[in-house]
Structure 1
Amino acid sequence: MTLLVPFDGSALAEAALTRAVEFGEVFEQSVVVIAVVPQGNTTYARERGWIEADESFDTETIVSRLREQVTALAPDAAFRYERVPRAARAGSIAREIRRTARRSEASIVFIGSDNAGRLVTALSSVGGNVAADQTYDVLIVRHTD
């Protein structure tokens, strides 16, 4: 069994990763991090701080930066990434995360989100879509402290 953390580089994703590492130490479970990158979507990448305003989209650069961020927080975590089409919606990204959760036999998915799991969830919420899967437990991290 593993602990899975969807990671987009945000402060909440960092907090979720930190929590997963803490749980992993207590429960002696490994941590797997998954980043999902929409190919060629410069706007999406800039909104998440993956690239600067003057940089062009480059998957390897983005993945390298995310991997470095993960390694700084969780050196022992396994880092994986998946590519989705440029116009991928939240459902496509969530599908990749759920697929990774099943493949890695995740016991808990740690989601850094300020809106996942609320009674009313936006249709475009990746966190809400991942939290809806009943094959694993979900821990929602809503605060960075």
Structure 2
Amino acid sequence: MTFAVPFDGTELAEAALVRAVEYGNALDEPVAAVTVVPERKRYAREKGWIDDEDESFDVEAVIERLRDRVHALAPSATFEYERIREFPPEERIADLVERLALRHDPSVVFLGSDNVGRVVTPLTSVGVHVAAERSYDVFIVRQLSPPGVDAVEAHTEFYREDEATG
């Protein structure tokens, strides 16, 4: 079994990856980060992979930055990605993320999201669709700083001081 983390480089995705590593270390479980990269500038802008409309979108450079960030936060984690040409609806992206995660036979998916699990959830949330899968548990990370669990050693170098102290 593995702890899988959908990873798009956002702060909450980074927090979910770090949290998966913390729990993985405590429970001796490997961690896999999975990413879907649509080859469309609009999606890249929405994710913060590029800054403005005039900036060129180098898909390989984005994938490399995401891979580097995963390995900086979680050196032992595997990184798997899939490029897609279209800009599908969030549900289709979620299906692809889920398919990548399922390749690792996850026991838990660590999902960084401030939307998942609310009574009202935006329809444009990939996390909503990934969390709906019933073959694994879902650990939702909503805060950048870690919970206080004695068996889990927090990676304090990741957390900003003002967040780690509350």
Question: What's the TM-score bracket when you normalise by the shorter of the two chains?
Answer: over 0.9
Question: Which residue type is aligned with residue 11 of structure 1?
Answer: E
Question: Which residue type is aligned with residue 107 of structure 1?
Answer: S
For residues 25-71 of structure 1, the C-alpha deviation after alignment (integer angstroms, 9 at most, x for no partner) is 011111000111111x1121122221233531121111001111111
Q: 1:119 offset after TM fit, Å?
A: 2.7
TM-score normalised per structure 1: 0.94
The corresponding residue for 2:137 is 137
The corresponding residue for 1:112 is 112
8 Å CA contact 2:6, 2:101 repeated in 1: no
Match runs of 1:24-63 below 5 Å: 24-39=24-39, 41-53=40-52, 54-63=54-63
- Alignment size in residue pairs: 144
Q: 1:86 offset after TM fit, Å?
A: 2.7
Question: Which residue type is aligned with residue 114 of structure 1?
Answer: D
TM-score normalised per structure 2: 0.82
Q: 1:76 offset after TM fit, Å?
A: 0.6
Match runs of 1:39-118 below 5 Å: 39=39, 41-53=40-52, 54-118=54-118
The corresponding residue for 1:128 is 128
8 Å CA contact 1:84, 1:92 repeated in 2: no
Task: Give the gaps of 5 or more residues in structure 2.
Answer: 146-166
1:15 maps to 2:21: no
Task: Give the gaps of 5 or more residues in structure 1.
Answer: none
Identity within the alignment, %: 53
Runs of 4+ with >6 A deviation: none
For residues 85-123 of structure 1, the C-alpha deviation after alignment (integer angstroms, 9 at most, x for no partner) is 332111111101211222110000011000112233222
Larger radius of gyration: 2
Superposed CA RMSD: 1.2
